[in-house]
Amino acid sequence: MRIVRLATIPFFLLHHLRSQIDALVAAGHEVILISSPIDGADALERIAGVRFVPIDIPRGIAPLRDLAALASMYRLFRSFRPDVVHSTTPKAGLLCALGAFLARVWVRLHTFTGQPWLELSGPTRWLSMASDWLIARLNTHCYADSPSQRDFLITEGLCRAESISVLESGSLAGVDLSRFNSGPLTARAQKCRETLAIPPTARVVLFIGRVTRDKGVAELADAFFRIKAVDSEAYLVVVGPTEPKRDPLPNALLQALTSDDRIRMTGYDPEPEKYLAMADLLCLPSYREGFGNVVIEAGALGVPTVGTRIDGLRDAVVDGVTGLLVPPKNAAALAGALASLLKNEPKRKQMGNAARERVRHLFDSRVINRRVLEEYERLLKNRNPTR
C-alpha cells in the first residue's frame, strides 16, 4: 500500500505515532509523512524507510497559507496516488480531507484527539466546529481516540454514528512496552532525580504537557502550593514547553512556578520516560483532552494518575482503580486527591499495579498498530474490491 500520514506539527508524528509509522514500514508499505517544516522536521527526515514532505500548515486561520498548503497536498496526492491518507490534528485534518477528496484518494481517514473549540467562544468556536463537521463528511471514515470522545462527537451532531469508531480500547498508538519498562529505567530515573536536585525520600508529582491554561496548570500550581504548606517532602516537576501564544499562563504565575524551591520546570524533553520512572504520581488536570496517552505511559511504569473527569481522560483513568478523577477547574478537589495519594503509599502502589496490568492487557502498541494496518486493508478492499 501507499500510505500518507499527516499532522500539523512534527511533534505529533514523532511522539504519538512513531511506533505506528515504524510498523507500517516494517510491513513493507510505502509511507509518506507530511507536516510543517518547524522544530522536529529534521527528525522526521531521518526516519528510516519513509519520505518526509514538508508543507507549511498554519495552526491558526491564515487563508492564503491554507490555500497554498491545500494546493501542495492536492499535487502530492495526484502524483503519489496514495491508497490511504490518514490525518490527525485539526488543521492538517481539514486540509487533508479537502485535498484527498479532490484528488479522489480511495481511503480517507482522520482521527479526532480532542476538541480545541471546547474552550473557545463566538465565531472562532463555530468555525472550529464547522471544520470538524466537514472533516467527518469528506473522509470515508473517522476514528476517535476514546469511546467518550466518539460519543461526544455524535451527540454534538458532528459525526454520524456509523462513520466514526474507536480501535481496540482507545489511544492513538498504545504504549511501547519495551520503552516504558521500569526495569531498564531505574538508573536513568535515579540520575534524573539527582540532576533535578530532588531528595531520594521526596514524593514527586509530575505533569507532562503544554504549560498552558487549558492544561489546568493554574489549578495544579494552586493545588501544589496547598500541599506544600503541610507536606515537607512533596515536589512538583513540570515537563513541557511554555507556549506564549496559545492560551498562555499569566506572567506572575509562571514566575511563581519557576522561582519556587520545590518546583522544577524542565521545558520540553523528548524522553518523558525518565521522569515518569522517578515519579510517584502523574497529574493531568486538563480542561479538555484527547485520550491522554501520557496516562497509559505512566501506567506502564506503575504510576497512577490524578486527572480531571472529562471526555477522553475518563477512558484513560479508571477512577478509584488506576487513579483518581476530580472535576475540572477545581484546585481544592485536585489538592485533596493528590494529598490523599501522596500520604498513602500502599494505595499508590495498588493503583500503580492496576494501571500497569491494564496497560499491558489493553494498550500494547503492537496490538493497536496491527489493528490499524488491518483497518487500512479492510477499508481499501471495501472501497476497491478489485484489489
Lowest mean pLDDT among 24-28, 56-60, 217-221, 357-361: 56-60
Nearest to residue 159, comparing CAs of 141, 181, 183?
Answer: 141
CA distance 323 to 28: 39
Q: How far is CA 386 from CA 85, 381, 383, in A?
A: 19, 7, 9
Nearest CA-CA partner of 84 in 103, 66, 57: 103
Residue pLDDT, tens place only, 229-264: 999 999 999 999 987 677 889 999 999 999 999 999
pLDDT, one tens digit per residue, over 116-148 is 888 888 888 999 999 999 999 999 999 999 999
Q: Hey, what's the cell of 277?
A: 520512572
Measured CA to CA in angstroms, residue 219 lies from 197, 249, 310 at distances of 25, 11, 15
Global confidence as pTM: 0.93
State the pLDDT at residue 116: 84
CA 42/CA 52 separation, integer angstroms:
9
**What pLDDT is recorded for position 342?**
97
Q: Do 182-362 and 2-174+365-383 have the same topology in CATH?
A: yes
Q: What is the pLDDT of residue 383?
A: 77
Between 387 and 79, residue with greater pLDDT: 79
So where are the chain's domains?
Answer: 2-174+365-383, 182-362
Q: For residues 73 and 7, is the Cβ–Cβ distance under 8 A? A: no
Average pLDDT over residues 202-230: 96
Find out if CATH 3.40.50.2000 is the number for domain 182-362.
yes
Q: Among the CATH numbers 3.40.50.2000, 3.40.50.80, 3.30.70.270, 2.60.40.420, which is that of 2-174+365-383?
A: 3.40.50.2000
Residue 386 has pLDDT above 80, yes or no: no
Beta-carbon contacts of residue 114 (< 8 Å; ≥ 6 apart)? 145, 149, 288, 289, 290, 312
Q: Give the per-residue pLDDT at 151.
A: 96
Beta bridge partners of 264: 237
